[in-house]
Structure 1
Amino acid sequence: MVDVIVEDARWEAVALETLAETAVRATLRHLGLAPAGFEVALMAGSDARIAELNAEFRDKPAPTNVLSWPARDMGAPEAPDTPVPGPADDPEPLGDIALAWDTCAAEARAAGRPLADHLTHLVVHATLHLLGYDHAEDTQAAVMESLEVAILAQLGLPDPYGDVAGERIA
């Protein structure tokens, strides 16, 4: 259900396919959606590659940790529509996610967290974006963060917001 495209060899050190599958499945299940009915493309690149994408799609010529592009508009950010899964043999595309190695690794080190835990959080976060969730406003951020915390807890991971002051995902 997650098609991983590795553009930077440093990602080979991480079990990204398994991590991404686990994070996307947990997010969909938490929201009552059948994972087999959906697909996500995930590109794992360098900061330079993510900076190019960030400049092209967001007019921000700098790297960021994660980017996401929903396949379709899921409704209002504060009340996303529920996507309809496709059949297992023809799943509904949710969209694309891109991760930046340098930024993700530096953030994990700075927070004193295992890289895998940080990446899992970023994939959960990006999957919520693909499903129509946003954090542009405080009320939206509160909803999205509470979902992230609950999903990560189901995976046995700590609250990424509760133990490091000021950490926010771009």
Structure 2
Amino acid sequence: MSKLNKKQVTNFAIDGSLIAFVFKDTQIKGLRLQTHGGECYIKLAKHLRANCDLLLPGIQLQVIGEKQLYLTGEVKLKALQLLTETQEIKIVSPPVSTILVCQKSDCLKRGGKEICQVIAATLSDRALSEQVKIKGTGCMKNCKAGPNLVMPDKTRYSRIKASQIPGLIDKHCASSLQPTP
């Protein structure tokens, strides 16, 4: 089993005061937020950038999003939702994640069909079948090392055995879909 992605993704929620927006080529890319722990930079998701002109520096915000922790120790924050103090916090259902599984003949001969069945059974056992979908894809360009799959956080795996699937589901799906305290 080979792992090519070197980051860990979790959810976060931060309260703070808006200091300023960060621009690149005259477009808003992120914001600087003053929190109890100090100042931090948070990248904005594309769907949030259009509405940022309504926010003024000094306004209290709650930022909800994803925190990416790289093996180098670098932490990147990406905002998926911005709430002002006047807005009520809405419970947002997490987006449906997708596990991509190669469906080409070489990967299927090497156990791809069994992998799909085990993934489906594991997701239903862990009550994740509504949040995580399985999608068959075309060639992932590594058929000799099949079966190949890509987890929701874009981590690629090759030469997967059916016995490894429950651990991968726990690592990549169950932890990322549960809110962190």
Give yes or no for TM over 0.5. no
TM-score by length of 2: 0.28
The alignment's TM-score, normalised by the length of structure 1, stands at: 0.29
Structure with bigger helix share is 1
More strand, by proportion: 2
Larger Rg: 2
